[in-house]
């Protein structure tokens, strides 16, 4: 029996309709599918919830946009994710809602491939708390109107200090997220790399760096102004003078279900409305 966890956007009515469709579809074929409890409660579908471990599922079906995809990856810890775009941009999703039933049939019959993408391992010191991110870790000022001073070390050697609104350490997948808005480079997600992008730096050196994934980045807060650590858009820790964050490659990857060739540059062209000529 196949087990399928469903993760859904908590504020989209279409996500609720699709969640019922997915769960009923698998149940009719003798398989187990369920919503995670927080999504079921938010969507008024408590009867479809289960406390089963999402990381023990065979498949995760994500019904939402890129934010929901990021949350799904965090929950399932390497389980293959089928993304159904119920959002705006949908960089990470594989299909649109009308193709859902066909996609489930193809998955059940093994007619798919798995795309793997690098994730970040983030350690906040102290107390040594670990996080994982598909897109990025951000160390950013807390107080409006002030910069924060951050000391960057790369591969164990001090690089320089920044007076800046923040620093982004992104994966290639995250190169089209916050790093892009800070004028960072766009990198194909087939690469493994660390992108270090400053946010509004108050200094002459304002360039992003593209590093080997094994060139671990350590960022320490200098001076009395506090900062916050965000992981994939969620604030997870406050940082004070002397606190540091270390970012390197995670020992697990995100895994996405794909049904055909996926050309990153064509997706980029479509999302940005780029012309042929």
123: Cα separation from own chain's centroid:
17
- The model carries a pTM of 0.93
Residues of the chain with CATH 3.40.50.10330: 3-117+253-272
Residues of the chain with CATH 2.60.200.30: 120-249
CA dist 42 and 35 (Å) reads 11
Is pLDDT at 271 greater than 80 in this prediction? no
Q: Render pLDDT for 216-270 as a digit per residue (tens, 0 to 9).
A: 999 999 999 999 999 999 999 999 999 999 999 999 999 999 998 777 888 788 7
Q: Render pLDDT for 14-70 as a digit per residue (tens, 0 to 9).
A: 999 999 999 999 999 999 999 999 999 999 999 999 999 999 999 999 999 999 999
Q: What are phi and psi of 79, to 5 degrees?
A: -65, 140
Q: What is the CATH number of domain 3-117+253-272?
A: 3.40.50.10330
CA dist 178 and 186 (Å) reads 11
Q: Residue 136 in contact with residue 197, Cβ under 8 Å?
A: no
First to last CA, the chain: 51
66 is catalytic: yes
Q: Residue 148 in contact with residue 199, Cβ under 8 Å?
A: no
Of 41, 58, 66, 276, which is the active-site residue? 66
Is pLDDT at 272 greater than 90 in this prediction? no
The domain made up of 120-249 has a fold known as: Tumour Suppressor Smad4 (2.60.200)
Q: Render pLDDT for 124-146 as a digit per residue (tens, 0 to 9).
A: 999 899 999 999 999 999 988 89
């Amino acid at each position: 029996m196949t087990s399928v966890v469903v993760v859904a956007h908590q504020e989209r009515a279409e996500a609720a309709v699709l969640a019922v469709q997915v769960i009923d579809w698998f149940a009719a074929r003798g398989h187990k599918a369920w919503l995670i409890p927080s999504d079921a409660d938010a969507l008024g579908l408590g009867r479809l919830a289960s406390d089963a471990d999402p990381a023990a599922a065979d498949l995760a079906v994500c019904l939402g946009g890129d934010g929901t995809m990021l949350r799904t990856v965090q929950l399932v810890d390497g389980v293959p994710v089928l993304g159904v775009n119920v959002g705006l941009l949908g960089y990470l999703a594989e299909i649109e809602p009308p193709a859902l039933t066909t996609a489930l049939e193809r998955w059940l019959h093994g007619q798919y491939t798995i795309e793997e993408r690098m994730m970040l391992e983030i350690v906040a010191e102290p107390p040594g708390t670990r996080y994982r991110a598909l897109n990025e870790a951000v160390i950013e000022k807390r107080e409006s109107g002030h910069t924060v001073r951050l000391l960057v070390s790369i591969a164990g050697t001090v690089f320089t200090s920044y007076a800046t609104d923040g620093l982004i350490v992104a994966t290639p997948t995250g190169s089209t997220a916050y790093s892009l808005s800070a004028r960072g480079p766009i990198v194909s997600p087939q690469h493994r790399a660390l992108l270090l992008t400053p946010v509004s730096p108050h200094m002459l050196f304002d360039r992003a760096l593209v590093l080997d994934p094994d060139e671990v980045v350590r960022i320490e807060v200098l001076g009395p102004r506090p900062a916050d650590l965000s992981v994939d858009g969620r604030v997870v820790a406050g940082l004070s003078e002397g606190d540091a964050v270390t970012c390197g490659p995670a020992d697990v990857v995100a895994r996405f279900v794909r049904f055909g060739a996926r050309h990153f540059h064509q997706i980029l062209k479509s999302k940005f409305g780029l012309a042929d000529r």
